[in-house]
Amino acid sequence: MNLPNKLTLLRVLFVPVIMVFLLMEGIPYRWLIGGLCFGAASLTDMLDGKIARKRNLITDFGKLMDPVADKMLIMSTLICFVQEEICGAWVVVIILFREFLITSMRMIAADKGKVIAANIWGKIKTVTQMIAIIGIFCGKAAGEFSFIFPEFVGDWLLILSYVVLYTAVAATIFSGVRYMYDAREFFRDA
Protein backbone atom coordinates (compact mmCIF):
# COMPACT_ATOMS: atom_id res chain seq x y z
CA MET A 1 0.00 0.00 0.00
CA ASN A 2 1.44 3.35 -1.01
CA LEU A 3 1.73 6.48 1.17
CA PRO A 4 -1.32 8.34 -0.17
CA ASN A 5 -3.52 5.30 0.48
CA LYS A 6 -2.08 4.99 4.01
CA LEU A 7 -2.95 8.63 4.63
CA THR A 8 -6.50 8.00 3.39
CA LEU A 9 -6.84 5.03 5.76
CA LEU A 10 -5.45 7.15 8.59
CA ARG A 11 -8.23 9.68 7.92
CA VAL A 12 -10.80 6.89 8.23
CA LEU A 13 -9.22 5.73 11.51
CA PHE A 14 -9.45 9.26 12.92
CA VAL A 15 -13.27 9.16 12.62
CA PRO A 16 -14.04 6.99 15.67
CA VAL A 17 -11.37 8.79 17.70
CA ILE A 18 -12.95 12.16 16.95
CA MET A 19 -16.39 10.77 17.76
CA VAL A 20 -15.20 9.57 21.17
CA PHE A 21 -13.96 13.05 22.04
CA LEU A 22 -17.13 14.68 20.78
CA LEU A 23 -19.55 12.39 22.56
CA MET A 24 -17.78 11.61 25.86
CA GLU A 25 -18.46 14.65 28.01
CA GLY A 26 -16.20 13.59 30.88
CA ILE A 27 -12.96 13.74 28.88
CA PRO A 28 -10.88 16.80 29.85
CA TYR A 29 -10.12 19.15 26.96
CA ARG A 30 -12.19 17.01 24.62
CA TRP A 31 -12.81 19.88 22.21
CA LEU A 32 -9.13 20.70 21.95
CA ILE A 33 -8.06 17.09 21.43
CA GLY A 34 -10.97 16.31 19.09
CA GLY A 35 -10.20 19.45 17.11
CA LEU A 36 -6.53 18.56 16.82
CA CYS A 37 -7.51 15.09 15.58
CA PHE A 38 -9.94 16.60 13.06
CA GLY A 39 -7.28 19.08 11.91
CA ALA A 40 -4.74 16.29 11.46
CA ALA A 41 -7.28 14.21 9.53
CA SER A 42 -8.08 17.21 7.31
CA LEU A 43 -4.38 17.65 6.65
CA THR A 44 -4.15 14.05 5.41
CA ASP A 45 -6.83 14.93 2.84
CA MET A 46 -4.63 17.64 1.38
CA LEU A 47 -1.45 15.57 1.54
CA ASP A 48 -2.69 12.30 0.04
CA GLY A 49 -3.87 13.93 -3.17
CA LYS A 50 -0.75 16.05 -3.61
CA ILE A 51 1.57 13.11 -3.01
CA ALA A 52 -0.43 10.80 -5.29
CA ARG A 53 -0.37 13.29 -8.17
CA LYS A 54 3.26 14.35 -7.68
CA ARG A 55 4.63 10.79 -7.47
CA ASN A 56 2.12 9.27 -9.90
CA LEU A 57 0.72 6.99 -7.19
CA ILE A 58 -2.92 7.25 -8.20
CA THR A 59 -4.72 3.94 -7.58
CA ASP A 60 -8.28 2.66 -7.89
CA PHE A 61 -8.30 2.24 -4.10
CA GLY A 62 -7.39 5.92 -3.69
CA LYS A 63 -9.99 7.04 -6.23
CA LEU A 64 -12.64 5.17 -4.28
CA MET A 65 -11.56 5.70 -0.69
CA ASP A 66 -10.35 9.32 -0.75
CA PRO A 67 -13.81 10.84 -1.28
CA VAL A 68 -15.40 8.23 1.00
CA ALA A 69 -12.93 9.09 3.77
CA ASP A 70 -13.73 12.81 3.36
CA LYS A 71 -17.44 12.17 3.61
CA MET A 72 -17.02 9.87 6.63
CA LEU A 73 -14.91 12.47 8.43
CA ILE A 74 -17.17 15.44 7.73
CA MET A 75 -20.54 13.73 8.11
CA SER A 76 -19.70 11.85 11.32
CA THR A 77 -18.42 15.08 12.89
CA LEU A 78 -21.48 17.07 11.80
CA ILE A 79 -23.82 14.35 13.08
CA CYS A 80 -22.05 14.52 16.44
CA PHE A 81 -22.47 18.32 16.32
CA VAL A 82 -26.22 17.80 15.84
CA GLN A 83 -26.33 15.48 18.86
CA GLU A 84 -24.38 18.07 20.88
CA GLU A 85 -26.86 20.73 19.64
CA ILE A 86 -24.12 22.72 17.94
CA CYS A 87 -25.69 22.76 14.49
CA GLY A 88 -29.08 21.98 13.06
CA ALA A 89 -29.99 18.68 11.45
CA TRP A 90 -30.94 20.58 8.29
CA VAL A 91 -27.23 21.25 7.66
CA VAL A 92 -26.50 17.53 7.69
CA VAL A 93 -29.56 16.73 5.55
CA ILE A 94 -28.54 19.21 2.83
CA ILE A 95 -24.96 17.94 2.75
CA LEU A 96 -26.04 14.28 2.77
CA PHE A 97 -28.59 14.89 0.03
CA ARG A 98 -25.92 16.45 -2.17
CA GLU A 99 -23.46 13.62 -1.49
CA PHE A 100 -26.02 10.90 -2.30
CA LEU A 101 -27.13 12.75 -5.41
CA ILE A 102 -23.63 13.26 -6.82
CA THR A 103 -22.51 9.73 -5.93
CA SER A 104 -25.59 8.32 -7.69
CA MET A 105 -24.92 10.48 -10.75
CA ARG A 106 -21.34 9.25 -10.85
CA MET A 107 -22.56 5.64 -10.70
CA ILE A 108 -24.94 6.23 -13.61
CA ALA A 109 -22.15 7.89 -15.59
CA ALA A 110 -19.74 5.05 -14.80
CA ASP A 111 -22.34 2.54 -15.99
CA LYS A 112 -22.33 4.41 -19.31
CA GLY A 113 -18.52 4.36 -19.43
CA LYS A 114 -18.13 8.01 -18.46
CA VAL A 115 -16.46 9.71 -15.53
CA ILE A 116 -17.78 12.78 -13.74
CA ALA A 117 -14.56 14.29 -12.46
CA ALA A 118 -14.26 16.42 -9.35
CA ASN A 119 -14.36 20.13 -10.05
CA ILE A 120 -13.26 23.23 -8.20
CA TRP A 121 -16.69 23.71 -6.61
CA GLY A 122 -16.57 20.30 -4.98
CA LYS A 123 -13.16 21.14 -3.57
CA ILE A 124 -14.41 24.52 -2.30
CA LYS A 125 -17.33 22.73 -0.65
CA THR A 126 -15.03 20.30 1.16
CA VAL A 127 -12.55 22.98 2.25
CA THR A 128 -15.26 25.31 3.61
CA GLN A 129 -16.87 22.43 5.49
CA MET A 130 -13.53 21.50 7.07
CA ILE A 131 -12.70 25.12 7.96
CA ALA A 132 -16.12 25.59 9.57
CA ILE A 133 -15.74 22.40 11.62
CA ILE A 134 -12.22 23.34 12.73
CA GLY A 135 -13.53 26.78 13.71
CA ILE A 136 -16.29 25.23 15.82
CA PHE A 137 -13.72 23.03 17.54
CA CYS A 138 -11.57 26.14 18.20
CA GLY A 139 -14.53 28.07 19.62
CA LYS A 140 -15.47 25.21 21.92
CA ALA A 141 -11.83 24.64 22.92
CA ALA A 142 -11.48 28.34 23.81
CA GLY A 143 -14.31 27.76 26.28
CA GLU A 144 -12.30 24.92 27.84
CA PHE A 145 -9.50 27.41 28.44
CA SER A 146 -11.62 30.17 29.95
CA PHE A 147 -8.83 30.70 32.48
CA ILE A 148 -6.71 31.96 29.55
CA PHE A 149 -9.23 33.36 27.06
CA PRO A 150 -12.05 35.76 27.85
CA GLU A 151 -15.47 34.23 27.17
CA PHE A 152 -16.07 36.43 24.13
CA VAL A 153 -13.14 34.80 22.25
CA GLY A 154 -14.92 31.45 22.07
CA ASP A 155 -18.22 33.16 21.27
CA TRP A 156 -16.72 35.11 18.36
CA LEU A 157 -14.93 32.05 17.03
CA LEU A 158 -18.24 30.19 17.04
CA ILE A 159 -20.06 33.05 15.33
CA LEU A 160 -17.41 33.20 12.59
CA SER A 161 -17.53 29.42 12.27
CA TYR A 162 -21.29 29.46 11.78
CA VAL A 163 -20.86 32.04 9.00
CA VAL A 164 -18.34 29.71 7.34
CA LEU A 165 -20.63 26.71 7.95
CA TYR A 166 -23.56 28.44 6.25
CA THR A 167 -21.21 29.44 3.43
CA ALA A 168 -20.24 25.76 3.20
CA VAL A 169 -23.93 24.81 2.94
CA ALA A 170 -24.33 27.34 0.12
CA ALA A 171 -21.20 25.95 -1.58
CA THR A 172 -22.61 22.44 -1.12
CA ILE A 173 -25.85 23.41 -2.86
CA PHE A 174 -24.06 25.31 -5.62
CA SER A 175 -21.57 22.50 -6.28
CA GLY A 176 -24.42 19.97 -6.42
CA VAL A 177 -26.30 22.09 -8.95
CA ARG A 178 -23.10 22.56 -10.95
CA TYR A 179 -22.42 18.81 -11.04
CA MET A 180 -26.00 18.18 -12.16
CA TYR A 181 -25.64 20.77 -14.91
CA ASP A 182 -22.33 19.29 -16.06
CA ALA A 183 -23.89 15.79 -16.12
CA ARG A 184 -27.13 16.78 -17.83
CA GLU A 185 -26.32 14.60 -20.85
CA PHE A 186 -26.83 11.50 -18.72
CA PHE A 187 -30.42 12.49 -17.95
CA ARG A 188 -31.65 13.54 -21.38
CA ASP A 189 -33.59 10.29 -21.77
CA ALA A 190 -35.38 10.87 -18.47
Specify the pLDDT at position 112.
Answer: 79
Over residues 61-86, the pLDDT tens digits come to 888 888 899 999 999 999 999 999 99
CA angle 16-97-23, nearest 5°? 25
Q: What is the spatial distance between Cα 111 and Cα 98, in angstroms, rounded to a whole number?
A: 20
User: What's the average model confidence in pLDDT over 157-184?
Assistant: 92
Q: Which residue has the higher pLDDT, 118 or 28?
A: 28
Name the band, by pLDDT with cuts 50, 70 and 90, for residue 190.
low
Cβ within 8 Å of residue 72, ≥6 positions away? 11, 12, 15
* pLDDT, the chain, mean: 90
The pLDDT of residue 144: 83
Alpha carbon distance 152, 127 (integer Å): 26
Per-residue pLDDT, averaged over 1-30, amounts to 95
Could you say which of 1.20.120.1760, 3.90.1720.10, 3.40.50.740, 1.10.8.60 is the CATH number of the domain covering 3-187? 1.20.120.1760
Domain ranges of the chain: 3-187
Give φ, ψ of 30 to 5 degrees.
-65, -35
Look at the pTM and tell me if it is higher than 0.75.
yes
| Rounded Cα distance, 149 and 181, in Å | 47
